[in-house]
Structure 1
Amino acid sequence: MITLRKITLDNRREIFKLEVAEDQRGYVASNLSSVASCYVLSTNGGHPFPFAIYAEEQPVGFVMLVYGITGYDEPSLAKDNYCILRLMIDKQYQNRGYGREAMVQILEFIRTFPAGPAKYCWIPYKPENTMAKKLYESFGFRDNGEIFNQEAITVLQL
C-alpha cells in the first residue's frame, strides 16, 4: 500500500538518497534540491507540499505539490491552481506500479484543497518523457498546448 508522508528529521536522509535511473535524471531535480525549493517557495508566499512516498514502511519516492505559484515566471494557469511540480520513484522501485498508486493518493490529497480552492491541477514535463505522459493521461490529464521552460503543460480539471 502506497502512502504519502511528511518529510521529517527521521526520514529526510533516506528521502534525499532516492534517485531516478541515469537516463531519467534530466527529467526531475534531486529530492534535496526540491525540498530546498519548498523552503524558498514558502518564504515567498507559495504553498508547497513535499511528501515522501512509502510502500508499506519503505520510502520509494518523493512528490512536491505546489499551490498558487506567484511572483515567478510561470505558466498561465499557475495562479490559484495545484501543480505536481516533482514526482519521482527511486530507480530500484520502478515498474512496480508505485507511481500509479502514488498518483491516486496525490490526486485525493489535492482534491481536499488543502491550500485553497482550485479548478485545475497541472504538471510540467519534458515532452520526450513519454512514460510520464502516458501515466498522466491515464488519470485524465491533457496537454493544453503550452510549452513553458521547455516543458509541456498537462492539465486536469478538478
Structure 2
Amino acid sequence: MSSDLRLEPVTPANLDAALALRVRPEQERLVSPVVKSLAEAYVHGDTAWPRLIFDGERTVGFVMAFFDITFHPDKAGDRPRSGLWRLLVDADRQGGGYGRFAVEQVCAEVRRRGGTRVTVTYVPGPDGPAEFYARLGFRPTGETSGDDAVAELELELEPELA
C-alpha cells in the first residue's frame, strides 16, 4: 500500500477498471458485484456515493456509501442513516489496508455532511466481514436488513470541535 491512496468517482475513463474488480470466489456470496452497485447508485441518485479506491494509478477496490436515507419521524426509533453500503477490495489486493482506508474515508464523508453515526450491513457468519467491522469499532445493533446484520459506529467529534 502506498501513500497515494484516494477515492475517486466512477467515470467513463475508469468504468472498465471498476467492472473488472473481483473478490475471491468464496467471497462472492458476501458482496454484490460492482455492476449491481453502479445500477443501484444510478437508481438511488444523490443517496448513493460510489467511489473507486486507488493506490497510485492502480484501481484496488470499490466502496459505496449512502447518505440520510428516507426515514419516518412518526415511527418509533426510526432515524436518518448514513453509512457503508458496499465494500469490495480486489482479490489480489486484500489484506493491504485498503478496506480500512475506504471505511475511514466514508466515515470522514459522513462527518463532513454532519452525521454522527455510520451504519453498515453485512452477511453474518464465519466467513463474513463481522470481525473486520468490529476491529474498526462497529457494534452490532441486533437489527437485520433482509438477511444482513446491521452494525453501527458512533463517530467521535473532530478534535477541534471537542
Which category of TM-score, normalised to the shorter sequence, fits these structures?
A: 0.7 to 0.9
The answer for the alignment partner of 1:62 in structure 2 is 62
**How many Å separate the matches in 2 of 1:78 and 1:69?**
11
Conservation of the 8 A alpha-carbon contact between 1:84 and 1:121: yes
Shift of 1:133: 1.5
Corresponding residue pairs, total: 148
Instruction: Work out the percentage of aligned pairs sharing the same amino acid.
Output: 29
User: Counterpart of 2:87 in structure 1: which amino acid?
Assistant: L
User: Counterpart of 1:87 in structure 2: which amino acid?
Assistant: L
- In our comparison, the structure showing a higher alpha carbon Rg is 2
**Alignment equivalent of 2:10, drawn from 7, 11, 25:** 7
Conservation of the 8 A alpha-carbon contact between 1:68 and 1:78: no
Shift of 1:78: 7.4
2:39 match: secondary structure: helix
Closer/same/farther in 2, CA of residues 37 and 62 from structure 1, 3 Å limit? same
Conservation of the 8 A alpha-carbon contact between 1:6 and 1:52: yes
Gaps of 5+ in 2: 156-162
The alignment status of 1:119 with 2:116, answered yes or no, reads: yes
Q: What's the C-alpha RMSD, in Å, of the aligned pairs?
A: 2.0
**How many Å separate the matches in 1 of 2:92 and 2:120?**
24
Closer/same/farther in 2, CA of residues 9 and 129 from structure 1, 3 Å limit? farther
The alignment status of 1:145 with 2:142, answered yes or no, reads: yes
Closer/same/farther in 2, CA of residues 21 and 77 from structure 1, 3 Å limit? farther
Closer/same/farther in 2, CA of residues 118 and 77 from structure 1, 3 Å limit? farther
Runs of 4+ in 1 over 3 A off after TM superposition: 76-79
Gaps of 5+ in 1: none
